[in-house]
Amino acid sequence: MREERTRNEKRVTLKDIAKEAGVSVSAVSFALNNKGALNPKTKSKILKIAQKLGYIPESKRLSRKSYTIGLVISDVTNPFYPAVIRGVESVMLKNGYSIFLCNTDYDPDLGCTSVKRFIDRHVDGVIIMTNRLDDSVIDLLKLHEIPVVVFDRSIEGLDVSGLLVDFQSGISEAVTHLVNLGHTDIAIITGPQDLETAQARLRAFRTALSRYHIPLRKDRIIEGDFKMRSGEEAMKKILNMNPRPTAIFASNDMMAIGALREAINQGLKVPQDISIVGLDDIIIASYVNPPLTTVVFPQHEVGSRAAELLLRLMEKGERMVSYIQTYLVVRSSTGPAPR
């Protein structure tokens, strides 16, 4: 924690920060209030200089403990998140904290606006569960001395607590399962490749294939957006391939279910004609027909572990990194490769 300033010590002003950063006072104001259209690098530079000079925002000087936290998620319509939210609640409500929820729908501007609202509400901490918020938003929270936990993204240089995911373990199990069933031509439906989590899942898939000396051809990589419709569109492309892959790994269950639906709509039998594996194990994965083989991403545990990390950071000042393990559950959407 920064040392308390004496009463006679000169308070750092926006003009002081502007002079040090080589920018205008209005640019400093925009950065500190999360407004305007500043370049992210410029915003981050201003926030870091403000921290270095010991700038204390007005809201911070007037704030009191609120027993509230902010939770930022990517897509409230994705069945992955309700169990995550309940996991956060299971820890926070028991410890006397209320939760403000922000759904960004993958829109970084909406995420930035919501974080500013969290600051205005004097939240005691924030959990960020979206890849589409740049580091300057985290710098802004740190400037206000608000503890931050980030999920499933790089934490290098951020000075925050992190909950990271071991995708390799579960995806390796999935690839081994398919190879043991005789599949050697396996396509992947990825998430948006500008997201760290989508890149991590693709890397894990590629690594798992390489253990069996199976190359991943470029045309076997189809980019989706983690939503069901993109799984349907990806399956249309896959079914037009010649030769056609015998199995598909989708980087989340929503896309896997979309792919499954499209395959059945086009008259294919799953898994007799094509096998499909998802990732998440959302609640509907076991209810589709056929039930989905998937890599389990334990959602309630994700929420509760993130909340526990935030509590330790808020109440004890302990920054930590923790890992979530993934593993395969086999159901009926996978079977022997067709001859």
Per-residue pLDDT tens digits for 198-245? 999 999 999 999 999 999 999 999 999 999 999 999 999 999 999 999
Question: Mean of the pLDDT values across residues 178-194?
Answer: 97
- What pLDDT score does 58 carry? 64
Judge if 153 and 237 occupy the same domain: no
Indicate whether 48 and 77 sit together in one domain.
no
Q: Which domain holds residue 25?
A: 14-53
Smallest Cα–Cα separation from 219: which of 175, 188, 259? 188
Q: What is the pLDDT of residues 292-321, one digit of tens each?
A: 999 999 999 999 999 999 999 999 999 999
Percent of the chain at pLDDT > 70 equals 94
157 and 303 in a common domain: yes
Q: What are the pLDDT digits (tens) for 13-72?
A: 888 888 888 888 788 888 887 776 788 888 888 888 888 887 877 655 555 688 999 999
| Residue 9 burial (C-beta neighbours within 10 Å; 0-12, 13-18, 19+) | exposed
What is the dihedral angle through the alpha carbons of 100, 142, 167, 214, rounded to the nearest 10 degrees?
Answer: 130
Any domain includes 2: no
241 located within any domain: yes
Q: Match 């639906």 to its residue by tokens.
A: 261
Nearest to 103 by CA among 85, 122, 121: 85
Confidence of residue 140 (pLDDT cuts 50, 70, 90): confident
- Residue 186 shares a structural domain with residue 121: no
**Per-residue model confidence (pLDDT) at position 2:** 40
In a domain, 268, yes or no: yes
Q: Is 315 helix (H, G, I), strand (E, B) or coil?
A: helix
199: which 2 tokens? Answer: 């890149």
Nearest by Cα to 67 from 121, 140, 1 = 121
3-state secondary structure of 186: strand
| Same domain, residue pair 249 and 304 | no
Do 124 and 202 belong to one domain?
no
- Integer CA distances (angstroms), 67 to 94, 122, 158, 260, 311, in order: 12, 9, 24, 44, 11
Tell me, yes or no, whether 181 and 285 share the same domain.
yes
Within this chain, do residues 255 and 219 fall inside the same structural domain, yes or no? yes
DSSP string, 51-113: HHHT---HHHHH-----EEEEEES-TTSTHHHHHHHHHHHHHGGGT-EEEEEE-TT-HHHHHH
CATH code for the domain in which residue 143 is found? 3.40.50.2300
Same domain? 306 vs 294: no
Q: 274 with 313, same domain? A: no
State both tokens at 160: 């925050």
Instruction: Please report whether residue 330 resides in a domain.
Output: no
The answer to whether 78 and 230 have CB atoms below 8 angstroms apart is no
How many domains is the chain partitioned into structurally?
3
Do 145 and 293 lie in one domain? The reply is no
SS (H, E, C) 139-165: HHHHHCCCCEEEECCCCCCCCCEEEEE
Angle formed by the axes of helices 25-32 and 40-53, nearest 10°: 90
